[in-house]
Structure 1
Amino acid sequence: MDLMTWFEVSSLPWSRATQQRKSLRRASISWRPTVTTASEIWHGPYSTPLNSFSSSRLATNYNNSNAKLFFLMDFKAFAGKSDTSRRQFMEGAAKSALGVSVATTFGAALDQQKAFAEETAGGGKAKSLIYIFNSGGMTHLDTFDPKENNKKVMGDTETVSTKVPGIRYGSHLKGLAEHADKIAVINSMSSQNGAHAQARYQMMTGYNQRATIVHPHIGPFCEKFFGKRGDLLPDSVIVNRGTSNSGYLEPALSPLPVANPTAGIANSTIMTSQERFNQRMEMSLDIGQNFVDKYQHYSSPKGYIEFYDQASRLLSSEELKVFDLSGEKDRQKYGMNNLGQGCLLARRLVEKGVRVIEVHNGGWDMHAGIQDSLASRLPPYDQAVSALISDLDQRGLLESTLVVTGTDFGRTSRINERAGRDHQPAVFSTMFAGGGIAGGQKYGKSDADGRRVGENKVSVEDFHATIGYGLGVDLGYEIYSPSGRPFVFGNHGKPVTSLYA
């Protein structure tokens, strides 16, 4: 967790505040200026010194009676790793630089940080994540949260016993029932988003959709936190989607989109000689570098150059073969459809060290004829995910690979006049396996009709924090958008640590 603290120095005269700012810079302490007036806000971070950032304008507004000047000091690199050394550094730095005593205030902050760290310790067994997203809103009642003795709710759906006594799934999940000892299900998921676009966005990013910013998916955030794992293959891949982005992060962190897992990477065949291709790429990169040099204060141009450079090197490498499924002997086992082949590709990518793979699977918005739709959609899902869990387990990869399935939201307990179920964000189910998960359990409950959370509510933020915990992400680590806004993995959700062994 980044140890960052705001110091208010607005009580000092401008000349004294400037003097303290210089003292902080001489001490090599990272800082960000923020001036807040009644009418406007200027927000960091800035790569240039404060005196290069319109000092006169800043001073004018600083003298406004409604203005406050803060310094954000990052002690992580200077305070040492122990709580004691951090506490001593913070107290000493504040007293000498700002003339205040902060032992009580920041001591409490450190205690809070320590308690959070202890609470979330023990995760990080998963080296990779395969996140299967069932787009449209997969019904929880006909899958992982059946109400066996409630015919009014279940309709024609039957249940099946699993490998774990006392746990039953919907009857179409016979394959997963055999892996229930490796699976943990959350039956108390809850969202406030009942529209598809907003619900999907939050389930993929952990944040509510906003018009002013685009948040990154799990893959780019993890690469930003951990750094790039491999040299040629991307850190994250999105399967069954033709486009991707990195949100507010650098374009080079964008996941590689694979629109069709059976077709490999689109437009990846070099249509000329390798020598001519290299010459063209060198020319393109030179032109791009000129643009980067001209606008060096902006991160996006440089990010795009890095992105295209990575792509061109991948096209010329043997690593590209991992996307070719034509010679894979296990294709039939996964199912010859986009979900099955996407899960197979995900397993191959995990073997090559790719950190995060999303596999998208549509067709779950069942407002009408739900029984026919379930008979069509659930068997391929059951086959693909069962094959994936079994394959990873046999190859010794399941313990280091977190497999998660999620969806937009749940569906109503009432079967409507069109024999379907409508949207229900109040409660739904998600599934976890591998990556340190203690299988054979259900967490949380819905009520008797599967309409509301009965106990142990888990928000979408908690769901993401649970994934981050398994991957070893510091859930308090702040990443800043270009506008200077801080974001953390899981949007301050609390991980369900009891899912893990």
Structure 2
Amino acid sequence: MLGLFPEQQHDCEQSSRRRFVMQLGSLAGILSLDGLLRQQAAVASPAQVDASGKKRSPASDVNCILIWTRGGTSHHDSFDPKPEAKSDIRGEFGTINTAWPGVLFTDLMPRCAQSAKKFTTMRNLNPKNGSHGVADAYMLSGHKFNPTLTYPCYGSVVAKEFGYRGSLPPYVQVNDSIDRRFRGGLSGYLGLAYNPFIVPDDPNSSRFKVRDVTLDKSVSGSRLSRRRQALEAIDTLQRNLDRQPDVFQAVDEYYEKAFDIITSAQTQKAFNLNLEPSRVRDAYGRTRLGQSCLLARRLIESGSRFVTVTDGGWDTHRNNFGTLRKKLPDFDRSFSTLITDLGDRGMLENTLVVWMTDFGRTPKVNSAGGRDHWSTAAPLLMAGAGTPPGVIGETDGEGARPVGREYYTRDIAATIYAKLGIPLHTIHHTPDGRPVALCEGTPIPELMG
């Protein structure tokens, strides 16, 4: 099922005839799209000015694909191998030369090694966290977890700042591999309207279908029109009873978007992977991650602004090497193909691609043949939107922590926002009016160009 409400909260005092009818199923076909519509008061339009009052520039029309490998991908066994270290640190994998002289990746990453000059490999990131759940909240927002305030993730901020571009939701999440215990990957204090539009089903499945977006064949155009008329009649009754025209006007705008999403040819086309040539689908890999990356490209191409692709299974406390022998080749193919494909289509100039994970893994292999959580070193890749290719920083001989200058999660956030054209001095407000700064970090010069 497609979900727009990762964590619904119910308030009995805010029930209405509209909600009652929808819960009965009388308007089936747009029910799951209700997450786009519900807000407690009038919904503000996407911000078109920055905090200083200056009008935003369309030149900031940079999109983003963020790949999140949930669990903590080992930096030792991917993009920061230590071939000269002791065997219990070096691990079981060999190394491979990359397009950068003297720079090595693990030998399970040949495609990334060959295309290394198309992206930047970051080795001096200190994530300052080593806990699942907390990592999802921290890494995907740039703010440390706060039990009293949920900070919005990058995609939610983009959705609020720039809004819709066509009929597709501005912020889409493909797959549902994000730990929500600390409300990571959500809209937080910005409100439910900016939560991700979630596509949980496997795009690689022959039965893949984005339910509630792909209109059921039993629902004809005239039938959908009648449902729309019924909704309008209910709205009129509710307006007469509640006398809240401003609120309903705002909500109606979101219902219009809901109908647009259901009926739009643009939407149907974007989610239909069968329209891709077989050779392109094969290049990405006929796997869940591969086809998810392809779907992300199609969504950006069709009008979405921010797509997060999530992939689970990277928490390798046991059998680290056996697990990664299966996971890394899939990532290697998916990521390298995505970068190449975006470049070939002329989309890399205005599409930022970021790969990140919870944290790194311990330098020493444990007794179960795994690596545990490690909070002071983690890998990150970035490409597109003017990012200069290269290798940034290094870790010590054991991969325990960065040597020399290191960067932090808040700096990654500042870099992402700067590249997407969102001023770092932007101030948002919580529902009770409290001002909150967008970001506390500083853009990383080596990534800015």
What is aligned with 1:269? 215
Cα 1:173–1:347, aligned 2, differ >3 Å: closer, same or farther? Answer: same
User: Residue by residue, what CA displacement relative to the aligned partner does 1:198-246 show, whole Å, maximum 9, x if unpaired?
Assistant: 1111111222233333322212211322x22413111111101299853
What is aligned with 1:206? 142
| Match for residue 444 of structure 1 among 373, 379, 393 | 393
| Aligned Cα root-mean-square deviation (Å) | 2.7
Cα deviation for residue 248 of structure 1 reads 2.1
Separation (CA, whole Å) in 2 of partners of 1:75 and 1:326: 43
- Aligned residues of 1:235 and 1:355 also touching (Cα < 8 A): yes
Cα 1:75–1:134, aligned 2, differ >3 Å: closer, same or farther? Answer: closer
What is aligned with 2:199? 258
- Aligned residues of 1:446 and 1:454 also touching (Cα < 8 A): yes
The one-letter code sitting in structure 1 at the alignment partner of 2:197 is: L
- Aligned residues of 1:410 and 1:428 also touching (Cα < 8 A): yes
User: Residue by residue, what CA displacement relative to the aligned partner does 1:424-450 show, whole Å, maximum 9, x if unpaired?
Assistant: 0111110001110111x2222222211
Separation (CA, whole Å) in 2 of partners of 1:249 and 1:380: 35
What is aligned with 1:316? 263
Cα 1:289–1:145, aligned 2, differ >3 Å: closer, same or farther? Answer: farther
Cα deviation for residue 308 of structure 1 reads 4.1
SS at match of 1:446: coil
What is aligned with 1:66? none
Cα 1:141–1:296, aligned 2, differ >3 Å: closer, same or farther? Answer: farther
- Aligned residues of 1:126 and 1:470 also touching (Cα < 8 A): no
* 2:385 aligned with 1:435: yes
What is aligned with 1:176? 112
SS at match of 1:214: coil
- Aligned residues of 2:167 and 2:303 also touching (Cα < 8 A): no
Structure 1 unaligned spans of 5+: 1-45, 48-73, 82-123
Give 1:433-472 correspondences, 5 Å limit.
433-439=383-389, 441-472=390-421
What is aligned with 2:84? 149
What is aligned with 1:247? 188
User: Residue by residue, what CA displacement relative to the aligned partner does 1:317-364 show, whole Å, maximum 9, x if unpaired?
Assistant: 101221011231111111111110110011112222321110001110
Cα deviation for residue 284 of structure 1 reads 2.8
* 2:359 aligned with 1:409: yes
User: Residue by residue, what CA displacement relative to the aligned partner does 1:129-168 show, whole Å, maximum 9, x if unpaired?
Assistant: 1100000000011111111211331121211111111211
What is aligned with 1:390? 340
Size of the aligned set, in residue pairs, is 382
Cα deviation for residue 305 of structure 1 reads 5.1
- Taking structure 2 as the reference length, the TM-score comes to 0.78
- Where relative contact order (Cα < 8 A, 6+ residues apart) is larger, the structure is 2
* 2:433 aligned with 1:484: yes
Cα 1:240–1:359, aligned 2, differ >3 Å: closer, same or farther? Answer: same
| Match for residue 498 of structure 1 among 433, 446, 449 | 446
The one-letter code sitting in structure 2 at the alignment partner of 1:325 is: L
What is aligned with 2:74? 139
- Aligned residues of 1:334 and 1:383 also touching (Cα < 8 A): yes
Cα 1:75–1:382, aligned 2, differ >3 Å: closer, same or farther? Answer: closer
- Taking structure 1 as the reference length, the TM-score comes to 0.71
Separation (CA, whole Å) in 2 of partners of 1:282 and 1:462: 49
- Aligned residues of 1:234 and 1:256 also touching (Cα < 8 A): yes
Give 1:265-304 correspondences, 5 Å limit.
265-267=210-212, 268-270=214-216, 271-287=218-234, 294=242, 296=244
What is aligned with 1:345? 295
- Aligned residues of 2:51 and 2:425 also touching (Cα < 8 A): no
Cα 1:298–1:392, aligned 2, differ >3 Å: closer, same or farther? Answer: same
Cα 1:252–1:237, aligned 2, differ >3 Å: closer, same or farther? Answer: same
What is aligned with 2:21? none
- Aligned residues of 2:121 and 2:379 also touching (Cα < 8 A): yes
The one-letter code sitting in structure 2 at the alignment partner of 1:386 is: S
Separation (CA, whole Å) in 1 of partners of 2:261 and 2:322: 43
What is aligned with 1:420? 370
Separation (CA, whole Å) in 1 of partners of 2:163 and 2:95: 44
Separation (CA, whole Å) in 2 of partners of 1:365 and 1:308: 40
- Aligned residues of 2:215 and 2:263 also touching (Cα < 8 A): no
What is aligned with 2:31? none
- Aligned residues of 1:251 and 1:307 also touching (Cα < 8 A): no
What is aligned with 2:102? 166
User: Residue by residue, what CA displacement relative to the aligned partner does 1:379-405 show, whole Å, maximum 9, x if unpaired?
Assistant: 000000111011111111112211110
The one-letter code sitting in structure 2 at the alignment partner of 1:265 is: V
- Aligned residues of 1:141 and 1:154 also touching (Cα < 8 A): yes
Separation (CA, whole Å) in 1 of partners of 2:314 and 2:85: 23
What is aligned with 1:224? 160
SS at match of 1:149: coil
| Match for residue 328 of structure 1 among 276, 281, 286 | 276
Aligned residues: percent identity?
A: 34
Separation (CA, whole Å) in 2 of partners of 1:228 and 1:194: 34
Separation (CA, whole Å) in 1 of partners of 2:245 and 2:152: 22
Cα 1:355–1:284, aligned 2, differ >3 Å: closer, same or farther? Answer: same
The one-letter code sitting in structure 1 at the alignment partner of 2:158 is: C
Separation (CA, whole Å) in 1 of partners of 2:376 and 2:303: 37
